[in-house]
Amino acid sequence: MQRKFIVADSEECTGCRICEYVCSAVKENGFNPLLSRIRTMRIEPTLNLSIACRLCEDPTCVKACPKKALSKNEETGVIKLDQEKCNGCAWCIEACEFGVIALHPTKKTMLVCDLCDGDPKCVLYCPKDALSLKTPEEISQKTRKKAIRTLVPQVTG
């Protein structure tokens, strides 16, 4: 099985944060972006981008957990949390290179995207279709096509 993760198209993302609200509603039964497993970043003045767990091949968050509360599903790459073991130390948050792990403000356990068991609701409800579930190869192909479209006008004249 090819691993897929959530990818945001920065040309389509408006920064509406609906993905955050949908995620918190699905996972925590309330509309609170602080409880979301996906984060929307605004890089002024024009770039908006939502980012969730990148399903690293060798996740530093799992290695950093002193309580062994995190594990990686080898088939899907999804990081799983054993809430009974998590003590909220936040070493995983510090270790994550992408800043996609957060600490639940009341439970004091970490929050990380689990892809909604393969059917991420943030992707489903994105009003601009800026989010998609893609393999690394699909992302590479899209990037190559974009680069060619950018270069071809310069080459042809």
The residues that bridge with 111 in the sheet, in sequence order, are 102
**Distances in Å between the alpha carbon of 68 and those of 59, 87, 99, 103, 112?**
13, 10, 20, 16, 15
Structural domain span for residue 62: 5-156
pLDDT greater at residue 27 or residue 143: 27
User: What is the C-alpha to C-alpha distance for residues 94 and 115, in angstroms, rounded to an integer?
Assistant: 21
Q: Domain count of the chain?
A: 1
148 token code pair? 């060619």
- Give the helix ranges, DSSP H, for the chain: 18-28, 60-64, 91-95, 121-125, 136-156
Mean pLDDT along residues 63-82 = 96
* pLDDT recorded at residue 103: 95
Q: Does residue 4 sit in helix, strand or coil? A: coil
The pLDDT tens digits for 9-49 are: 988 999 999 999 999 999 999 999 999 999 999 888 778 89
In this predicted model, what pLDDT tens digit does every residue of 90-128 receive, in sequence order? 999 999 999 999 999 999 999 999 999 999 999 999 999
Confidence category of residue 152, pLDDT binned at 50, 70, 90: confident
- Output the domain CATH number for residue 129: 3.30.70.20
pLDDT value at residue 136? 87
* Strands 131-134, 39-43: pairing kind: unpaired
User: Whole-structure pTM over 0.95, yes or no?
Assistant: no
CA 54 – CA 97 distance, rounded (Å): 10
37/35 Cα distance (integer angstroms): 7
pLDDT band at 1 (very low <50, low <70, confident <90, very high): low
